[in-house]
Amino acid sequence: MKKLIVCGLSSVVFSLLISSAVVRAQDAAPAPAPAPAEGAAVAAEGAPAAGTITDASGKPAETKKRRSNDFWAVLTGSGWLGVILWLGLFGCAGFGVYISVDSAITVRPKRIMPQALIDNVTAAMSEGDVLKAIKHCENEPCALSNILTAGFGHVEEGFEVIQEAVATAADIETERIMQKLTWISVTASLAPMLGLLGTVQGMIMAFARIAEGAPDVGLLALAIAQALYTTAAGLTIAIPCIAVYYNLRNSANRSFLRMEAMTMELIKDLRNVEVVEE
């Protein structure tokens, strides 16, 4: 169910990004050229008019159908490398949304250390029943229960061994959660790099058009638009990911500190507890 919700959110984000890009491109379309002033000189018959693109023989080139400089024209006119870059940017956007939502759910204090587990283990430890506490941990899998289970498994070996087992399990759980958050940082770093690569590709295409001599203005503008669109897309993906990463990392660190304090509070009674087999 959670994955379906995340996929739905990703689809909505994709639709919004594409729609906004198309609207911005259409709003930025160039205005039509002004009509010539009344009484202006008429070009000589057979001579190309001013501003007319000519071919190598000096004859007017065939007028090409003006290409719409919108998002889809940029996407389809940027070559196979551009298509790969855009697929990578879309992939970063979708993965960024998914991993951000999944990480936000993972680092919630209620997910790391449920209050019901704390209450049940506290009641069991007040009765001196370690086996009951272990059963509660098995019924409520989470980071705190994994740490407590590691400690309860060494209850007969002394409190120092219990503390070492708890510390090791806490490090493992912390690293497991932080590794998931790291993927948000990876997405935030990768998206601008893809955008920069698209910028370089667009500028290469633009200068290649200029080098051909009398370039098609539409194709030249398309290459420049490719450079600007990929840069904007990369930054649009990276900036929210950076904000989400640091926010979730700080939230996770606060939860880890509370979990450490709660763990020590729950195992302190193990100094004098004896395990009784039924």
| DSSP one-letter string for the chain | -HHHHHHHHHHHHHHHHHHHHHHHHHHTPPPPPPPPPTTPPPPPTTSPPTT--B-TTSSBPPPPPPPP-SHHHHHHSSHHHHHHHHHHHHHHHHHHHHHHHHHHHHT-HHHHS-HHHHHHHHHHHHTT-HHHHHHHHHHS-SHHHHHHHHHHTTGGG-HHHHHHHHHHHHHHHHHHHHHHHHHHHHHHHHHHHHHHHHHHHHHHHHHHHHHTSS--HHHHHHHHHHHHHHHHHHHHHHHHHHHHHHHHHHHHHHHHHHHHHHHHHHHGGGGS------
Residue 231 lies in a domain: yes
pLDDT of residue 224: 81
Residue 52 lies in a domain: no
pLDDT of residue 77: 65
Residue 60 lies in a domain: no
For residue 33, pLDDT beyond 60? no
- 205 versus 273: the higher-pLDDT residue is 205
Least confident of 23-27, 111-115, 124-128: 23-27
Number of domains in the chain: 1
pLDDT of residue 205: 77
Domain that holds residue 170: 67-271
Confidence of residue 63 (pLDDT cuts 50, 70, 90): very low
Residue 59 lies in a domain: no
Least confident of 56-65, 167-176, 178-187, 213-222: 56-65
Residue 44 lies in a domain: no
The tens digit of pLDDT for each residue in 228-252 reads 888 899 999 999 999 999 999 999 9
pLDDT of residue 78: 65
For residue 17, pLDDT beyond 90? no
pLDDT of residue 141: 87
- 78 versus 45: the higher-pLDDT residue is 78
- 201 versus 17: the higher-pLDDT residue is 201
The tens digit of pLDDT for each residue in 90-123 reads 999 999 999 999 999 989 988 898 889 888 888 8
- 60 versus 145: the higher-pLDDT residue is 145
Mean pLDDT, residues 255-265 taken together: 88
Q: Round the average pLDDT of the chain to a whole number and report it.
A: 75
Confidence of residue 9 (pLDDT cuts 50, 70, 90): low
Confidence of residue 55 (pLDDT cuts 50, 70, 90): very low
Confidence of residue 56 (pLDDT cuts 50, 70, 90): very low
